[in-house]
Amino acid sequence: METWSEKIRGWLAHLPIERLQHPTPVVAVVRLAGVIGQVGPLRSGISLARLAGPLQRAFSLPGLSCVALAINSPGGSPVQSALIAQRIRQLAAEKDIPVVAFAEDVAASGGYWLACAADEIYADASSIVGSIGVIASGFGFNEAIERLGIERRIYTAGERKTLLDPFKPENPEDVARLKAIQAEIHTNFQAWVKDRRGDRLKAPPEDLFSGEFWTGRRAVELGLVDGIDDLRSAMRRRFGDDVKLRLVTGEVSWWRRRLPFRGGWESDGFSLLPVTWADDVIAAVEARSLWNRYGL
């Protein structure tokens, strides 16, 4: 009678030993697409809260050889950019896995901050890359409400609580305070790029960190990216034609998939808030203004 050990040896004899010794390489693909941070009153774009799960799953795939970041973002919140990039670096160090970023239409401002979380960055020749700077914009309505006969009433505890109030005349001290904050954030951005790109940067800081943006081909010359390539081609050359590209996305709850209207309901952590068509419009306008900055 055949023993269990003999049966096991028989089964193993029929297995593709070559495949066991050289398993098919796996590349986890994480898409970082859209505006970073809060897009509208009830909508979030790219944020650590939304990406924490997918990133953890991406770095935990069996047989993982690399994590590829597919980036298409005009930027947004510097805080969320830094938090996401830091999480990527933490997971890469813990799992000892290389990370490669691929810029699609845009990897600018916060989008480039995310790209720098990778060990290597590639782009299309016509990608928009760079915009290493900080911007704040708004409107002033103080003259408009005077013409309409509207009286502005506001009460505060704390003399600086009305900083840059759009319904008051612009205060030079408020502007100076805002510029000081922007300069500090800009310094942090520059330090991150210098730390991640190091000697690969090929232009003086006053050019690289002016807020200007370039095509992917020019970005290669400046050292902001490492070459012109696309994700699938690069991964196949690096790991072979049989490489498995595994797209890792966020999970959508079953009840959201069954809602008959777009957007459904969003949780603010305390209650469920209905997302209306007006919220969609506001979010779309705010996101479009960021994309328009790069002519897209």
Annotated catalytic, 161?
A: yes
Rounded distance, CA 47 to CA 15, Å? 44
CB-CB contact of 104 with 135 (8 Å): no
Structure tokens at 147: 């013409």
Length of the chain: 296
CB atoms < 10 A from the CB of 145, how many? 14
- List 47, 65, 73, 109, catalytic entry: 109
Rounded distance, CA 107 to CA 65, Å? 24
- List 161, 202, 233, 289, catalytic entry: 161
From 77, 130, 127, 81, select the one nearest 102 (Cα to Cα): 127
Annotated catalytic, 179?
A: no
Q: Encode 152-192 in three state secondary structure.
A: CCCCCCCCCCCCCCCCCCCCHHHHHHHHHHHHHHHHHHHHH
Q: DSSP secondary structure string, 6-66?
A: HHHHHHHHTS-HHHHHSPPPEEEEEEEES-BSB-SSS-B-B-HHHHHHHHHHHTT-TTEEE
CB-CB contact of 37 with 256 (8 Å): no
Structure tokens at 50: 């939304």
Q: Which residues are catalytic?
A: 109, 161
